[in-house]
Amino acid sequence: MMKEKEESSASDDGKDDESASAIRPDTSMISLKENLESLAQLQKVHEERLFLCQTEISQLKKFRTDYLHLQKRLKTLPDKTTYDVMVPFGSLAFMPGRLVHTNEILVLLGDNWFAERSAKQAIEIVKRRLKDCDEKIKTAETTEKIHLNWLKETAEVLKGDMGDQVDIVLKSDGKLRIPEESIVRHL
């Protein structure tokens, strides 16, 4: 009975218990193939995010172009009090009309809220939106560069070229060894 208690206490330590190590997978046993598959999946996610970044950048650049055209038109709009225009009537038809009160602009504030502004005030709103658009483009381009660099490094790892990475080996005597081919000499 005393022997059984000693055996059970030894197995509680987890040192002698073989079944406990069988339950917990050893991370060092993950094969290279599984790591490469995981890396390929991660690469696919980065490619998708890169596509989303590029889509967002093209959409933001279109918004920027539209705002620039709007700004140009708002500068010339109050020059006359009335304009003869072709007014859209449905999706396929136009009819002649007249644009009046050219210095009164309805500006979308968001969520279907509008405010009546003068053309000069509307130009200032457009300038702020252009500035915001430029900041968003800059952020999206930075994100795009991050994804491109990550994909480039991943491609180098997958093909076996480690790029600017260097292997540093710790010898048994405690000294570090850098392979001779990894040393770059600057003349």
pTM, full prediction: 0.64
Mean pLDDT across 23-42: 67
Helix runs in the chain, H state only = 2-13, 18-23, 32-76, 119-159
Mean pLDDT across 97-120: 94
Q: Residue 142 pLDDT more than 90?
A: yes
Helix runs in 77-94, H state only = none
Neighbours of 105 (CB within 10 A): 21
- Reported as a pLDDT band with limits 50, 70 and 90, residue 19 is very low
Q: Using CA atoms, how far apart are residues 61 and 67, in angstroms rounded to an integer?
A: 10
Mean pLDDT across 98-116: 94
